Structure 1
Amino acid sequence: MSGVRDRTVDFKESVRVAALSHGYTESQLAALMSSFIIRRPSPKLPFTNTAIKTLESIRELERFIVKHRKDYVDLHRTTEQERDNIEHEVGVFVKACKEQIDILKNRIHAEKSGSSKSWLGTRDESSLMDLIAHQHGVVLILSERLHSVTAQFDRFRTIRFQDAINRAMPRKRIQKKQETKAVEPSKSNLVLKSDVSKVNQEVSTAPLRVQEQLLDNETRALQVELTNLLDAVQETETKMIEMSALNHLMSTHVLQQAQQIQYLYDQAVEATNNVERGNKELSQAIQRNSSSRTFLLLFFFVLTFSVLFLDWYSS
């Protein structure tokens, strides 16, 4: 080791001389010499770039929700159309993030299926399994982050739907009260009309009174029918709002269950691979055990024969 000498300085000097001979400027020469000190970072994997892009999209979605939270929740700041537009934008964001997460999952499966296994050691295989496990963890973290952001928006949507239900229910009660108040004046009007008809009984004719009575009956029947129809429409509207909220909550839970099922499936596939690898190692151990047993039997047979031969030879 005494004859080994560090030639790094000589190498740098040779590079500098060669660069000057090729006509490098001072700035180019400085950049070339600095490359020996500051190394360029290694290029990132496509999976890493996609994961970083997905994380940035989720953060942008979270910033968008926080920015428009008051506009979406407060009924006096924006209109229903603007709130629907905000909800549509959030849906587009969530769909894009979900597609990027699916791309990451497909890339993991492609790397797992396209990987070549070495025939000697298991070091390459173990490192590959560690990489795949790390990638699964990244996908799981991104899915949980996306689910937390969507759950935050679900709370805002629940507040909006609850406000809509609260606004629909008091209006229904007020209209019922107005209906009861409108019935009482109609009764008083009927009494007055009956008195007037009694006073002017001699003047008015019988067909005219019958026609007025029929018109009043039809008017009251039509009013009652329209009131019942309005109540039915309001009740249907309330139920539709509740069904929309429940449908969105159900879709959120289905998405969460799909992510959990995918994670369990990946774990099951990994466990199956481990079991197969264990079976191979177990079969190899059985073969080695049988070969060692044969060798021991042969050794004892030769040893016994040698002892008998030596005993016969000595006698």
Structure 2
Amino acid sequence: MSRFRDRTDDFKDAVRHTAISSGYNESKLAAIMASFIIHKPRQMTPFTKSALKTLESIGALDQFMSKHRKDYVDVHRTTEQERDSIEHEVTAFIKVCKDQIDVLNNSINDEEASSKGWLGIKDTSNADTIAHKHGVVLILSEKLHSVTAQFDQLRAIRFQDAINRAIPRRKLKRVVNSNTLDTSKPINLELGETNELQHEPLRVQQELLDDETRALQVELTSLLDAVQETETKMVEMSALNHLMSTHVLQQAQQIEHLYDQAVEATKNVELGNKELSQAIQRNSSSRTFLLLFLFVLTFSIMFLDWYN
């Protein structure tokens, strides 16, 4: 019985010698061998990069809201300017994320438009990819809508706190006015009963009290105006944010509808392919039957001619 010899090492040496003679050095050979073992990572498409970037932006927005939730809601932790700054940053975040989603949606629409041929016939080979991209955009829109809904809740809490703080101030203003009217009557009575020597100091005290009352009224009025202005701004911002979230939700519903249409179109294409394959099979079988019939007919005519 003959023995077999392993010539793998000889083959490797021959390949290495041939590669070196062809101009490859040791570093190039090592790089080629490493490429066979460790494959290069697959490059992501621009759509995938943009989608991942949008997802990271939404995640950063969620983390920012979670970090500053107490600062935004609690009145004693931050000032109005700081809360306005937080609200401005969140609004800018939401706008950036929405713009990124719009860019992704526009890229899908452009891809759908480019998939049509010059006769208006769609290329069905890319339907699954487009449907997948619609699903990605839908998921991103839903995530952004959930984050904006959380921010709407925080804004509603801040708005309610501002209203609760404004109502006691209005009551305080009414109480101060009533106390001023009540205290003015005894002062006037005392002024009528005192003599001329005490008349001048009491009038000075009354003027001081009136000045303090007016200053307090002016301060309360300015505070009330500031609260009303803040309430108006918050209502406007809440309306704008609600409008934006509504548009995002409508866009998500439209994308979901497009995704369903894409899935249905894919199913129709599969059914069409099955029908075409069945038609091809029927055509081939009918062709075979026709050839067989012509052959039998020709043979029959030749046999009848020979027989006659």
TM range (shorter): 0.5 to 0.7
Assess, with a 3 A threshold, how the Cα gap between structure 1 residues 238 and 34 changes in structure 2: closer, same or farther: closer
Mark the runs of 5 or more structure 1 residues left unpaired by the alignment. 1-7, 205-211, 292-315
| Paired letter, 1:191 | L
> Is this contact kept in 2: 1:161–1:245, CA < 8 A?
no
Q: Which residue of 2 aligns with 1:31?
A: 31
Q: Which residue of 2 aligns with 1:64?
A: 64
Aligned to 1:40, what secondary structure does the other structure show?
Answer: coil
> Is this contact kept in 2: 1:58–1:145, CA < 8 A?
yes
> Is this contact kept in 2: 1:172–1:234, CA < 8 A?
no
Which structure carries more relative contact order (alpha carbon 8 Å, separation 6+)?
A: 2
Assess, with a 3 A threshold, how the Cα gap between structure 1 residues 183 and 52 changes in structure 2: closer, same or farther: same
Alpha-carbon deviations, 1:128-174, whole Å to 9, x = none? 11111111000000011111122222222222222222211111112
Q: 2:156 aligns with which of 151, 155, 158?
A: 158
**Alignment of 1:149 onto 2:147:** yes
How far off is 1:271 after superposition? Answer: 8.8
Residues in 2 aligned to 1:146 and 1:262: alpha-carbon distance in whole angstroms: 15
Mark the runs of 5 or more structure 2 residues left unpaired by the alignment. 1-7, 284-308
| Paired letter, 1:78 | T
Q: Which residue of 1 aligns with 2:250?
A: 258
Backbone CA RMSD of aligned residues: 4.5
How far off is 1:256 after superposition? Answer: 3.3
How far off is 1:190 after superposition? Answer: 2.2
Q: Which residue of 2 aligns with 1:186?
A: 184
Alpha-carbon deviations, 1:2-52, whole Å to 9, x = none? xxxxxx999976664444342523x54322102112222332221111111
1:168-187 aligned at under 5 Å gives the runs 168-187=166-185
1:15-164 aligned at under 5 Å gives the runs 16-21=16-21, 22-25=23-26, 27-115=27-115, 125=124, 127-164=125-162
Q: 2:235 aligns with which of 240, 243, 247?
A: 243
Residues in 2 aligned to 1:101 and 1:9: alpha-carbon distance in whole angstroms: 57
Assess, with a 3 A threshold, how the Cα gap between structure 1 residues 242 and 87 changes in structure 2: closer, same or farther: closer
Residues in 1 aligned to 2:90 and 2:174: alpha-carbon distance in whole angstroms: 39
> Is this contact kept in 1: 2:54–2:101, CA < 8 A?
yes
How many residues were matched structurally?
258
Which segments of structure 1 move beyond 6 Å, counting only runs of 4 or more?
Answer: 8-14, 271-278
How far off is 1:98 after superposition? Answer: 0.9
Residues in 1 aligned to 2:40 and 2:227: alpha-carbon distance in whole angstroms: 67
> Is this contact kept in 2: 1:55–1:142, CA < 8 A?
yes
Alpha-carbon deviations, 1:74-126, whole Å to 9, x = none? 2222222222112111122111111111111111111111115699xx9x61x
Alpha-carbon deviations, 1:198-228, whole Å to 9, x = none? x76xxx9xxxxxxx9xxx9xx89x96xx68x
TM (norm. structure 1) is 0.64
> Is this contact kept in 2: 1:71–1:77, CA < 8 A?
yes
